[in-house]
Amino acid sequence: VRDALPVAPASIAWHGAYGSRMITALERKVATVTQKFSRSELVSRLIRAGELEVSGDDQAEQDSYFDRENFRFHGPDGFEADYAGLCAYFESIRAAFDDRKITRGIIVAEGNAMACQTWIEGTFVREFTQSPAGPLPPTGTRVVWDLINIFQFDDDGRLIEEFVRTDYRSFL
């Protein structure tokens, strides 16, 4: 999919709060807005996909928001997963935490890419088997994951890639 994406001119000037520089074609290799979904529809799809991952309510609907064969997840500390791995991770969250919720903050969209603030929270009541530090015993406390996500959609409005950065201090 990436090789078929349109490329902007060889370089363009970028002027921001921290100075100016030239942006190369490689840095501007971004898909055009999908013809099937508007920007607001893609945002809605992103929000709903997250709600389903956290709640586990409807696996078939959740599956419809992802390219299940090609999806790639790139997490903190080199954690890499495909769609099945992402589902297994969220299964472990649902098993360990009660009263879960997900909140999306600022969402920035350009073409088929989105970046957003995300908070996932829950009460830690059972062992968490997929923590970055290994299995953790429950503490009974409210835990909040503070995330920054970058998502890539395909032209069918399905998620094909996600990059995540987080702060584990509230968790550990």
pLDDT in tens, 140-170: 999 999 999 999 999 999 999 999 998 766 6
Beta bridge partners of 101: 121
Whether the pLDDT of residue 25 is over 90: the answer is no
* Cα–Cα dist 1/165, whole Å: 24
* Cα–Cα dist 115/15, whole Å: 20
pLDDT band at 77 (very low <50, low <70, confident <90, very high): confident
What are phi and psi for residue 59, nearest 5 degrees?
A: -60, -40
Whether the pLDDT of residue 44 is over 80: the answer is yes
- pTM for this model (two decimals): 0.77
Whether the pLDDT of residue 31 is over 70: the answer is no
Whether the pLDDT of residue 2 is over 70: the answer is no
Summary mean pLDDT of the chain: 83
